[in-house]
Amino acid sequence: LAKTTQPISMDSYEGQEVNITCSHNNIATNDYITWYQQFPSQGPRFIIQGYKTKVTNEVASLFIPADRKSSTLSLPRVSLSDTAVYYCLVGGSSGGYQKVTFGTGTKLQVIP
Amino acid sequence: NAGVTQTPKFRVLKTGQSMTLLCAQDMNHEYMYWYRQDPGMGLRLIHYSVGEGTTAKGEVPDGYNVSRLKKQNFLLGLESAAPSQTSVYFCASSVGLAGYNEQFFGPGTRLTVL
């Protein structure tokens, strides 16, 4: 299984752009990278997914360099409601079996 | 449309007792998963199912059993609970493999084993 590493916590002021990086040095060729957001006492919620280069949706961007050994979730102009824990997931299949590795999560605190 | 629901929300067991956690989804998803979440360790996959009548082991399957008798339900059983199984358990579902598709998570079950 791919091992993923994330910073434990980050602080940011409201209105700033926040970048959270996940390291996954032994990612497999057929693995994808997905990011989830989790609020206290709730299940994780999907944010964005990608394989390589850049992916953007209405809430975030995901940057993946050519070697795919890391990925960066970018949240533009964060607000207080973005205070949550953010998880990267590296997943795919191997030999017909599911592979899923979540990072340990980054707790983002948005400051007014 | 309730999405993914989990029963119960909280449970306290004594060591050696058994229990079953129920997960239900109304999105007609083929794939369902059980995870446990422990402080500082993220989510770890216990078991998963790729369709009705199928189950497969995940990263940490020991001490757990699962069944998928109906497409919409995925049950997680603890035959003889141990304090090491104290955790928050999440169920999820998706249209395809979790690594390639969005997973929809339930609200979680907080289990304490004394």
Q: pLDDT tens digit string along B88-104?
A: 999 999 999 999 999 99
Specify the CATH class of B4-98 in words: mainly beta
Chain B residues lying within 8 Å of A36, measured CB to CB: 103
**Domains of chain A as residue ranges with CATH:** 9-111 (2.60.40.10)
| Long-range CB contact pairs, B83-88, < 8 A, 24+ | B83/B15, B83/B113, B83/B114, B84/B113, B85/B36, B85/B111, B85/B113, B86/B111, B86/B112, B86/B113, B87/B36, B87/B37, B87/B38, B87/B111, B88/B36, B88/B37, B88/B38
With 80 as the cut, is the pLDDT of residue A1 above it?
no
Q: Give the rounded distance of the alpha carbon of A46 from its chain centre.
A: 10
Mutate which: B59, B94, B100, B109, vs A, most A CBs within 10 A: B100
In the chain, the amino acid numbered B2 is A
Domain borders along chain B are: 4-98
Residue A96 has a pLDDT of 72
**Is B106 within 8 Å of A43 when comparing Cβ atoms?**
yes
Per-residue pLDDT for A2 more than 80?
A: no
Contacts with B94 from chain A: Cβ below 8 Å:
none
- Tell me: pLDDT of A4 over 70: yes
CA distance A49 to chain B (A): 8
Residue A40 contacts by C-beta under 8 Å, 6 or more apart in sequence? none
Q: Give the 3-state secondary structure of residue A9.
A: strand
Find the mean pLDDT for residues A26-32: 93
Q: How do residues A44-96 score in pLDDT, each as one tens digit?
A: 999 999 999 999 999 999 999 999 999 999 999 999 999 999 999 999 887 77
Rounded CA separation A88/A38 (Å): 11
Nearest Cα residue to B74 out of B97, B98, B47, B96: B47
DSSP H/E element including A33: strand A32-38
- Alpha-carbon distance B36 to nearest alpha carbon in chain A (angstroms): 11
Assigned token pair, A61: 């961007």
Question: Do the chains contact at B45 and A98, CB–CB below 8 Å?
Answer: yes
pLDDT under 50 in chain B at which residues?
none
What is the structure's pLDDT at A95? Answer: 74
